[in-house]
Structure 1
Amino acid sequence: MSSETKSDSVKLSYTELASFFENMGMMIKSGISVSEAIDLLKEETPASEQAMKDAFAKMSDDLNMGKPFGDAMRDSGAFPDYSVDMISTSEYTGKLEDTLFHLADYYRTENSMKTALVSAVRYPVILLFMVIAVLIVMLTLVFPAFYGVYENLAGSLTSSSYGYINVSFTLTKVMLGIMIVLLATMLTGIMMWRGGKKDKVRNILSKFSAFRDLFSSMDLYRFTSCFDMFISSGENQDEALVKSMPVVQTDSLRSLLQRCREKMEGGMSFSQTAYEEQLYDPANNRMLIPAERSGMLDTIMQKILSNLKVSIEKSIGHIANTIEPLLTGVLMIFIGIMLISLMVPLIGIMNSIG
């Protein structure tokens, strides 16, 4: 789910969104009105965050003119549409306080998933820098030093007896080039991601099954969380599904949800369509229908969300644990090859002397 907004004047991060909804929930719970709460946030926002301060000022003006909280949020351009829709629904159903806390929890989870992904990418980048540094040292210091020693002991290294050192030198240069290209690719992807081109990066990464499964799981988590929040805020199931679908970017999941939508329009409940379309894994799917019939759908949805979160964390860990040993193993193999290629001639020279 993206935190992109309709206005370029202010873009709230996941952390900022979580903080905003948490603060609003606590103030409303303590008896402070929405307009007063916004005024307090406006006053507490430092001058260094002028864009956010302006957004709160716009919301305050709208609220003082009698506009609903949801409309004021939408006009500010600082909030994602789905969060605005939830707030608007909860205002009419009297569940504003609960919805605010649910949104705060949602964005905290989004931020934790984002942090985990960043950590999974950061270490391979650092490791690539280390690999490149080692290869540069080998090319600029180690190889020349051994060349000098061998030339003094046995003449030029162009002879066939030392030819494999030249091969090792060439392989090291090739390896260095590959590592530089790989690092440049990763850094370019990171810059594109931060520069608002997440969809392009996502499409490229989705060509790999591990990332494709991860993105699908994350989208399913986001949809389920949004759907559950819409239901909790008082929205009916059909509208909740429709309003939750925009957070999904995975084509296969979007198609599956579209089939669920068509069946729900035909009179089926969400739990029935989710079960028939196998929206979740078998263990989670089997819980839906009896949970809805017993009035415990919200409880089961929370259980499903917990299971999905664990699955996402495992997927991120699997990707990180695959990349790290791979890069480390490649580095160790090449260092071993280089050391052997450098030491074997020395052994030959010593044998000839002896």
Structure 2
Amino acid sequence: MATKRLWRWRGVDAQGAPCQGMLWQASRLQVLHHLQQQRIMPLVVRRCPVKQSLWHPRYSSETIRQLATLLQAGLPLADGLSLLAQQQPHAQWQALLEALGRELGEGVAFSAALAQWPQAFPPLYLAMISTGELTGKLDICCLQLANQQQEQQRLAGKVKKALRYPLIVLSLALVVVLGMLYFVLPEFTAIYQTFNTPLPLLTRIVIAAGDMLSRGWPLLLALLLSPLLLNQLVRQRSDWLLRRQRLLNALPLVGPLIGGQQLSLIFTILALTQSAGISFLQGLQSVEETLSCPLWRQRLTQARERIAQGEPIWQALSRCGGFTPLCLQLIRTGESAGALDQMLENLAHHHQEQTHQRADSLAAHLEPLMLVITGSLVGILVVAMYLPVFHLGDAIGGAGG
């Protein structure tokens, strides 16, 4: 299937009135053919850039939530998509919803129409929508899917905020320190050199650091940019991505936070797919395709293969690693008692709450630590620069005598 591109067109309709719009089609020829079918004479047809930021999951989940509301109000699916397209503030999404409506008009199933837009609707959407179509509960499936996506986005945002906070504070502290060393320190050094008096050890160390900075700024710049370059290299190698993920999981505070978020996502999706009547193996595959962490995708692939061979779920998960004893015990109990969906839901809530608590705890512990580090760095520089001032009176008196 050819890749669809976004086109903006302007033309004149059958009544001679000017009209315009945006359209997803694979080629200019298909755009012209579509406009001809609508009895529109095109005047301008040009390609438009696609904003990748508009494919953020929050737009997809909000669209599905609004669609669920319209379906529960008794509106037909095609009419609901048409109404959403009219109210959509982003032309890119408006054109997408109109394209989905045209697919439905041609007899294509809604899940099959969504499958043509993997950048906007991941596999979990397709599985849930397909289940809703088969069971006649499309509105309920859409609402459950939207709630799950919203909760996971909120949790992921909280985890990212907790992890980014120390990096932002340390970066600001580094900028302040470098600014003082590069701009403020030379002025004090020039003043102190006019007096023939020895400087304190701390001041001499700071001045030496400033001299090294002024002479070796290219090396410093390379050191500052090296993490970004290294991150790009790691992204290109799957084995390096796995090693980085294992390293992050081994960190004392960061590891449990990241692991808790992944477990929350895994069990939330599994509970959602189980309640919708999707088989466990199919739900596990949806989780694999949804996760962005290569380490957890590898683990779940191994578990799915073992389960497909007839191994109990809890045993397959225990062999692939990463799951806590509580997870394995509850899954084993649910599997033997026929209440697996309830146990998965309990595990999802447990890991969501635990991850929220860990994120709050990490932020609460790091905030005073970052303040101490920042204050210490700036304080050392200020003391080093002003310490000789206390000896200037003696130096000036000695020079006058």
Q: Identify which of 48, 52, 69 aligns with 1:26.
A: 69
2:119 is the counterpart of 1:81: no
- The 1:97–1:18 alpha-carbon spacing in structure 2 relative to 1, beyond 3 Å, is same
Give 1 or 2: higher strand fraction.
Answer: 2
Query: Does the C-alpha gap of structure 1 residues 184 and 315 become closer, same or farther in structure 2, counting only changes over 3 Å?
Result: farther
CA drift of 1:146 comes to: 6.4
After superposition, what is the alpha-carbon deviation per residue over 1:265-305, rounded to whole angstroms, capped at 9, x for unaligned? 23344345446666632223222233344443322212211
Identify the residue that residue 57 of structure 1 maps to in structure 2: 98
* Deviation per residue, 1:198-257 (Å, 9 max, x gap): 989966863443455544443333332222222222222222223322233445433432
Residue of structure 2 in register with 1:257 after alignment? 300
Q: Distance in 2 between matches of 1:277 and 1:167?
A: 52
For the 8 Å contact 1:275–1:288, the answer to whether it is kept is no
Moved more, 279-288 or 181-190: 181-190
In the alignment, does 2:334 pair up with 1:296? no
Q: Distance in 2 between matches of 1:72 and 1:62?
A: 6
Q: Distance in 2 between matches of 1:212 and 1:80?
A: 26
Contact 1:90 1:99 in 2 (8 A): yes
Query: Per the alignment, do residues 284 and 117 of structure 1 end up closer, same or farther by CA in structure 2, a change over 3 Å counting?
Result: closer
Please, which of 159, 165, 177 is the counterpart of residue 203 of structure 2? 165
Instruction: Tell me if the contact between 1:59 and 1:73 (Cα under 8 Å) persists in the aligned partners.
Output: yes
Q: Note if contact 1:132-1:179 (Cα within 8 Å) is conserved in structure 2.
A: no
CA contact (8 A) 1:22 1:101 kept: yes
Q: Of 349, 361, 364, which residue of structure 2 is paired with 1:306?
A: 349
* SS across alignment from 1:75: coil
Output the amino acid matched with 2:140.
Answer: D
Judge conservation of contact 2:64–2:142 (CA < 8 Å) in 1: yes
Cα displacement string for residues 292-339 of structure 1 (whole angstroms, at most 9, x for unaligned residues): 444433222122112222343345456656765555444333334334
Shift of the 19–334 alpha-carbon distance from structure 1 to 2, 3 Å rule, reads closer
Please give the alpha-carbon distance, in whole angstroms, between the structure 1 residues aligned to 2:333 and 2:136. 28
Once the 2 structures are TM-superposed, how far is the Cα of residue 138 of structure 1 from its aligned partner?
A: 5.4
Which one has the largest radius of gyration?
Answer: 2
- Which residue in 2 is equivalent to 1:12? 55
**Where in structure 2 are the equivalents of 1:222-237 lying within 5 Å?**
222-237=265-280
What residue number does 1:72 align with? 113
Residue from 329, 346, 354 that aligns with 1:286? 329
Task: Name the TM-score, length of structure 1 as normaliser.
Answer: 0.76
Deviations 1:97-134 (A, max 9, x none): 23211211122123213432453325632552354235
Structure 2 gaps, min length 5: 7-49
Tell me the equivalent position of 1:38: 81
User: 2:212 and 2:344 mapped to 1: Cα distance?
Assistant: 52
Offset of residue 71 of structure 1: 0.9
Shift of 1:70: 0.4
> What's 1:90 paired with?
132
Contact 2:173/2:374 (<8 A) preserved: no
Higher relative contact order (CA 8 A, sep 6+): 1
Deviation at 1:73, TM superposition (A): 1.3
The offset of 1:59, in angstroms, is 0.7
Aligned residues of 1:14 and 1:110 also touching (Cα < 8 A): no
1:132 aligns with 2:175: yes
For residue 102 of structure 1, what is the aligned residue in structure 2?
144
One-letter amino acid of the counterpart of residue 87, structure 1 = I
| Structure 1: runs of 5+ lacking an equivalent | 1-5
Equivalent-residue separation in structure 2 for 1:151 and 1:252 (angstroms): 58
CA drift at 1:63: 0.8
The range that moved more, 170-179 or 215-224, is 170-179
Contact persistence 2:82–2:97 (CA under 8 A): yes
Instruction: Find the counterpart in structure 1 of residue 262 from structure 2.
Output: 219
Q: How big is the shift at 1:36?
A: 1.5
Counterparts of 1:271-350 in structure 2, within 5 Å, are 271=314, 273-274=316-317, 280-317=323-360, 320=363, 327-350=370-393
Work out the CA distance in 1 between the residues paired with 2:165 and 2:329: 39
Cα 1:107–1:202 change in 2 (3 A) is farther
SS in 2 for 1:235: coil
Does the 8 Å contact 1:219/1:249 carry over to 2? no
Against the structure 1 CA distance between its residues 68 and 174, is the aligned structure 2 distance closer, same or farther, given a 3 Å change threshold? farther
Identity %: 16
Alignment-mate amino acid for residue 157 of structure 2: T
